Amino acid sequence: MNNKLEEYVKEHKKAFDTGSPSGQLWSRIEAGLDQESIKKPLRVPFWLGIAASLIVIMTVIFMYTYHSPWAKGELEIADINPVYAKKEMKFANLIEEKKDSLEVFARKNPELYAQFSTDLNQLGSNYEALKKELKTSPNQRAVVKAMVKNLELQLQVINQQLSIISEVDEYKRENQI
């Protein structure tokens, strides 16, 4: 088949060479060349670049937040602020010692001790809520400060309770005579 085409072209070569395009065709081609028909490269709008950058940054933050040891519940106060961790340990130990002292007085004044226990339990539940919030909070330092402040308040409340109990005991001793 290729041979037939070649033979046809050879036989009719003069017919192909004699024809030329019209002058109008050449002028239209020239007019088209004068126009800027070259396609510009695709440019990404500035705002689209910023949006893509933000998505990448948010993805990295998400991956770090939810795949970090903190997200698994292993976050401790010492990880955020070692100074506050020492304060927490100090206050927690003092609170336990003072609670033991309160229990000794509880035998003499059970209704007063019950009322005091309610207050301490409320502060304790607030402390536990702050501990849970620490894992997900964007401002963990503020939560740690609040936790330490809560422990300070617990210690102050226990000290006031011990003072009140000792005053009540003293009053009872004075009035028995």
pTM: 0.48
Say how many CA atoms lie within 13 Å of 117 toward its Cβ. 12
What digits encode the pLDDT tens for the residues 122-149? 888 888 888 888 778 788 888 888 888 8
How many Å apart are CA 56 and CA 20, to the nearest integer?
A: 60
Q: What is the CA radius of gyration of the chain?
A: 43
pLDDT tens, position by position, 90-114: 777 777 877 777 777 767 777 777 7
Longest dimension (CA), the chain: 146
pLDDT above 60 (res 72):
no
pLDDT the model gives residue 40:
63
Question: Does residue 47 surpass a pLDDT of 60?
Answer: yes
Q: Which two tokens stand for residue 131?
A: 């501990």
First and final CA of the chain: distance in angstroms? 136
User: Among 29-38, 52-61, 122-131, which stretch is predicted with the lowest mean pLDDT?
Assistant: 29-38
Burial status of residue 31 (CB atoms within 10 A of its CB: 0-12, 13-18, 19 or more) = exposed
User: What is the average per-residue pLDDT within 145-161?
Assistant: 84
Q: Is the pLDDT of residue 71 over 50?
A: no
Phi, psi of 93, rounded to the nearest 5 degrees: -65, -45
Domain boundaries, the chain: 2-34
Q: Which residues contact 126 (CB under 8 A, 6 or more apart)?
A: 150
State the CB neighbour count (10 A cutoff) for residue 15.
Answer: 9
Render the chain in DSSP notation, one character per residue.
-HHHHHHHHHHTHHHHHH----HHHHHHHHHHHHS--PPPPP---HHHHHHHHHHHHHHHHHHHHHTSTIIIII--HHHH-HHHHHHHHHHHHHHHHHHHHHHHHHTT-HHHHHHHHHHHHHHHHHHHHHHHHHHH-S-HHHHHHHHHHHHHHHHHHHHHHHHHHHHHHHHHHHHH-
Least confident range from 1-10, 83-92, 139-148, 151-160: namely: 83-92
Tell me what the mean pLDDT of segment 71-96 comes to: 69
